Chains A and B, each alone.
Chain A
Amino acid sequence: MSGRRAELVVSGVSKRFGRTVILSTVDLTVHGGEVIALTGENGAGKTTLMRICAGLIRADAGSVRVGGRIGYCPQVPGLFELLTANDHLVMFGRGAGIDRAESLRRGHAILEEFGYPLRERTVTRDLSGGTRQKLNLALALLADPTILLLDEPYQGFDRGTYVNFWDHCQVWRDAGKAVVVVTHMLAELERVDRVIELPAHPSRTLARS
């Protein structure tokens, strides 16, 4: 990766919840134009690490440095149940300083790429899980972030959209974005540049035994 800019640098990040150590001195550097798969068994701390990188929770120790704007797609879509996709695009776009028309233009372009039914005026509560997830992903991409943190973003996707998602990882790589995808899909690991596996930490292994 020499010559490429580091966009996300995680140094010695540790996190515990109560007596349970979730992350212990994790180091990770992601460069622009690189797609990383973050794997590990349930409870290994993948989501916690993503949330720390996004700034949603604080690490107990260590630091995170970033090269630009972060786009974060959480595992569970956090959406207003009675608002439409357009409402969400306008609201999230405004947060990034994008006006209404531009938010809709950009948002529709992203949604269209993932096969979202654009004529749909349904509120998010009545959308299928996969369709909600498409909107969730579009909101993460709306402000054209440099760093993409995607926590199992394909949940509920049909086969075509799932393949489409991984094709887009290539597009984002070519666009110079730093992409981290939390995934359990071993078949797709050949499509990423590196695989980082978070270990189950000894304190939890001992607790289970």
Chain B
Amino acid sequence: MRSLRRIVIMGEMHGRDLTKRHAAFALLIALPLSFYLASAGTGTKSIVAGGVGMAFAVSGATLFSVLSSGEVDQRLVLAGYRPHELLFGRLLFLAPMGIAIGGAFTALMTVVSHPARPALTFVGLSAVALLSIPFGLAVGAAVPRELEGTLVLIGVVGLQLAIEPTSPVAHVLPFYGPRTLIASSLGAGGPILWPMVLTSAYGIALFVLARLLVGRRVGVERHSRVTDR
């Protein structure tokens, strides 16, 4: 129960912090929107582009939240938090926000691009948003500098957009599952279960990786007690 309370407080504080960054918050919406609108003439492919834009936006926001608070995070661990509580706190705020953005974009895309299965489009976009969080956490924990972290993020997400989905490389990139879900929503057929399982597996693996790396970075040594007084 104590752990849950700490996670809730962290979620609340990250929410307060991000919602005060008005420009960043606006870009969270504007980035996927610009990806979508820029490729609006390409039919349903624009939905995939919008999804990739969302991956950039949400994982970028997550990356920033990790990199900008390294010093504070370690102090919070000294104050009694556990590293995984700091990560779950971010997840608690960013996940509903990502799903809300996914919902808004699904509504827009349904009206403009007419995907065959809008509900699956929503699932695909939500999967993008949800996977972007552990991805951003893992990149932030693995590459603890802004420039390098941003370049890794751009490299991975950009590669996912640039290469053909049939390419073997595309299959091992983290956003292959969500991209397949979005592609399946555009027509009458296409796989659903397998990409959902893949997305879940990638999400869990990235979160565990982030936990291990963050634990090493912000972990605090608990000293033994003085017994001889």
Task: Write the residues of chain A forming the contact surface with B, with a CB cutoff of 8 angstroms.
Answer: 5-9, 54-56, 58, 63-67, 70, 72, 74, 76, 78-83, 87, 90-92, 94-97, 123, 139, 142-143
Contact = CB atoms under 8 A, between A and B. Distances in A.
Nearest to A69: B80
A76 B184 CA distance: 51
Contact of A95 (B6, B20, B221, B223): B6
B35 interface: no
A82 B20 contact: yes
Interface stretch (B36-44, B68-76, B133-141): B68-76
A92 B226 contact: no
Interface in B60-83: 68-69, 71-72, 74-76, 78-81
Contact of A82 (B17, B78, B229): B17
Given A54-B78, A63-B224, A80 B72 contact: yes
A133 to B, nearest CB: 14
Nearest to B222: A55
Given A55-B221, A78-B71, A91-B13, A96 B226 contact: no
A9 B226 contact: yes
Contacts of B72: 78-80
Contacts of B76: 91-92, 95
22 contacts: A9-B226, A54-B220, A55-B78, A55-B221, A56-B78, A63-B224, A65-B224, A66-B223, A66-B226, A67-B225, A67-B229, A70-B78, A72-B75, A74-B71, A81-B17, A87-B13, A90-B9, A92-B75, A95-B6, A95-B76, A97-B80, A142-B79
Contact of A123 (B2, B20, B225): B20
Contacts of B78: 54-56, 70, 72
A72 B5 CA distance: 23
A143 B78 CA distance: 11
Given A6-B226, A72-B78, A94 B16 contact: no
A92 B2 CA distance: 13
B213 interface: no
Interface string B3-21: 0011001100100110011
Contacts of A90: 9, 13
A33 to B, nearest CB: 13
Contacts of A81: 17, 68
Nearest to B13: A91
A80 B75 contact: no
Most interface-central of B20, B21, B223 (chain A CB within 10 A): B223
